[in-house]
Amino acid sequence: MKLQELLRGLDPLELQASPETEITGIAYDSRAVQPGNLFVAIRGFDTDGHKYIPMAQERGAACVLCETAPAKGSYVRLADTRLGLALAAANWYGHPAKEMTMLGVTGTNGKTTTTYLLKHLLEDCLGAKVGLVGTILNMIGEEVLPTERTTPESLELQALLRQMADAGCTHVIMEVSSHALYLHRVAGIQFDVGLFTNLTQDHLDFHHTMEEYGRAKALLFRQSRVGLVNADDPWAGLLMEGAACPIHTYAVRGEAELEARDVDLEIDHVAFTARWQGRETACRLGIPGAFSVYNALGALGVALALGIPADRAAASLATAKGVKGRAEVVPTPGKPYTVLIDYSHTPDSLENILKTVREFARSRVIAVFGCGGDRDPIKRPIMGKIGVDLADLVVITSDNPRTENPMAIIDQIVEGTKHSDTPVTVIENRRQAIRWAMDQAGPGDVIVLAGKGHETYQEIGHEKFHLDEREEVAAHLMGN
């Protein structure tokens, strides 16, 4: 592809290269540069790609996309190379998003479950082949692909979308993180429907304030044709500010265009009546908890925006299954207690899962959790307080400490528990914490292993060590 084709839609500040230059590929890691590539120099948080321009040129880069001109060689200077990378990647892969119906889901909690519900719904109602881009994994139909972040970097994302389009996907459902929106990973993609689930405290190490976090999420509605917003969320107004598309609303408690009424929360499901344009539809979802009503209602709203009849969508939701690591019940044969795994790693999600369990627990709720290192420290004492407020026994342990001292993190969590009578035990080793909690459990108790969810590793330092909580539960039951 010629350089001028690759630069379509970009606005260069300076062009010191022949537009006719033949480009063989794109790379933003100098170690991955191949002869004839366009090297994109990105200013990262740990390093600056501009430092590696000489290395990229030595490896045969035909041209450099940069913000600061290099000492020699062909280059194109831009105001923002992250945005440039996204648009160039879309050009390189032929704008695959335009070939499919694109659905984007953003919010602090509920994204993963909602995308899974939507995938099931579209396959069931439309017979569609659906691509999924998410936290746990990526999928092309039934083919599972691994993933390392909620939304891939723009170059990898465009490559994945091209793979999905070529495989015959008609629809793509994407979890769109605030990082992805702010850092232009999804730039150049027009979403047919954008959905906002909720906004609660998370990622403040990156966004600094809730207002900044909310405005980053709101960027989704500047590149969507239709928006759907949870009107019950206190940040809904901020999310709708500056929207460049029509916005529809849904709510469980308040008033909205799509409402859930007559809500029934049971041990193994939720049921409600959906009201939309003067009509009512009975809905049921086999995942317990009040948050499941919001997830189901959001998925139903997207279906309606796509023209799927409410009764057909509701019938499909009734057959949908849960998501690994989201209110997942772990088998404990022969034991009188229940063990549940949930990816609740924020104050709001921990509160939600503990309240949900409280709805059906016949005896005590035992909470086992920690907080991740190198992430927002403000939430640590908040989560500690939520634990002692909503559980009968709290076990504070290590999550993914990363480069932080695990006990330093734990001490910050413990700060939030100091004015409570709820028993608190500190066990740094997560394996030992899980086993200790199981040893304390009695008839009717529910143990909530919060924070890891679908993850099968623990990140300590810069390494990932295998840790699957399902395996730990099974091993302890077997006496191993």
- Annotated binding-site residues for meso-2,6-diaminopimelate read 375, 399-402, 451, 455
Burial of 405 (0-12, 13-18, 19+ CB in 10 A): exposed
**Strands, E, within 209-246: which ranges?**
227-230
CB 316 within 8 A of CB 124: yes
Map tokens 């099968």 to a residue: 456
Residue of 104, 121, 80, 93 lying closest to 23 (CA atoms): 93
Quote the radius of gyration of the chain (alpha carbons, Å). Answer: 24
- The answer to whether the CB of 48 falls within 8 A of the CB of 68 is no
247-251 vs 227-230, strand pairing mode: parallel
Q: State how far the Cα of 270 lies from the Cα of 212, in Å rounded to an integer.
A: 34
CA distances 464 to 264, 460, 461, 470, Å, are 41, 6, 8, 17
The annotated binding site for ATP is made up of: 107-113
- Is 130 strand, coil or helix? strand
DSSP 475: H
The total number of residues shown for the chain amounts to 480
Binding residues: 30, 107-113, 150-151, 177, 185, 375, 399-402, 451, 455
Q: Quickly tell me which residue has 């799509």 as its tokens.
A: 258
**Comparing C-alpha atoms, which of 350, 320, 333, 376 is closest to residue 451?**
350
Structure tokens belonging to residue 164: 């999905």
Residues 140 and 131: beta-carbon distance below 8 Å: yes
Residues forming a β-bridge with 90: none
